Structure 1
């Protein structure tokens, strides 16, 4: 059930414009702005390892060119991984980056000259703007910031309709799949700038758009991206306890985050291997009709 108790003072566009103005091209602008840049590098490294495994699992085949759209491109972190992976597969890429911030798109285009830029607001963009134009559409930790139900529906449907028949939609979201989550009836953030949703909220919209869910993969574990759920209340509170300690001591310091990086990433990988990441998840859907 989508939360209805949302702080009306939160405006998605203003939130992102402010973050990008404050942090420029740093990962804090798209990750955890309250924690250090070095911690954000750890978080994104964990997510990147998961993402590359997903690309391998998909085993996508295409004759010559692959058309990819990333909505909410941010600093362009994922572009390098996508470009390098498919280049090694011998495929040419046509990559379109969409974002609400013109300044962000300018930064991305300067960094990646061959990328097409498209400024749009997911909350209001025409759902059929890119109807069936792309082989892959990526929306990575974007839709959680559309806390209004109508904006979320519009953003998800736009992403879905942009996928061609047989194509793939890859979402990365704090989707709830376990039996206990304190975020099932309220926002993740005290500022109401992000919202966790049951995985069924994604499924019911995407099934209507002709998609089938193929898989769910952990992104970063609760150790590097905070817990959102667990199989029991005690399990959640235990994870939350350790996360809060790390956030207040290690993760707020660039130096401590850098020194602890090897052990944090090793523990993070072990948690994900056990299948109980209990944080953000990659949701993979294929369009059949």
Structure 2
């Protein structure tokens, strides 16, 4: 059986206002070869997890979508129209335990004034191995200081843009080093994030994550885990972290909307502690979300 795929176009006027939705065939041509999403990577996106037809953390994703759009000076996404687009696709994926919807907003055809928008959804890959066996990571220098978001906002650190070539290259480099994934480190020695995930550590009864002010993407999945930390008798704090804290943590995870919580079982080839019980509790809570 082929994997179901669903597409909705978000129609905009020349002023950038969303005017409605247009169902479309995902296998039919839809995008101009002159669109800035293809020629420049000039746009933003979000990927929302769908659990049995229910979008998870939708408001948080749409807030982050709008934040990224502002950072790129794109038109402000209409949250109501984009929420309708996500729900329209989620309803068509309701027969699947885990699925996803990606929202995309680009600057549109080069030389024009009308943005391009669409929402696309399908069934999620099987992440059971990553959630149970865990992942190995390599620490990679991001090439930016931890204050780059403040000193050089034009670098768009912390925006979720379509320019993902660096993120993909980082994963390939990690794999060349024998790891599954990467964790970025600033040039001044601070832990940041994964190419497609947020880093969470367990230290002395507290869940810890680096601050978004270091130029990293605010994690929607991490936010939901921190909201549930009290259920597991844990505190939750945002703190500046260094690589030695990752290596010595009681446990660590890379968390993201689709893979959920993947425990880190080795850093640069050295084994690290894994808390299987807490990992299972985290993923159970994330999968049970209905908002």
* Short-chain TM bin: under 0.3
Which is higher, the Rg of structure 1 or of structure 2?
2
TM-score by length of 1: 0.26
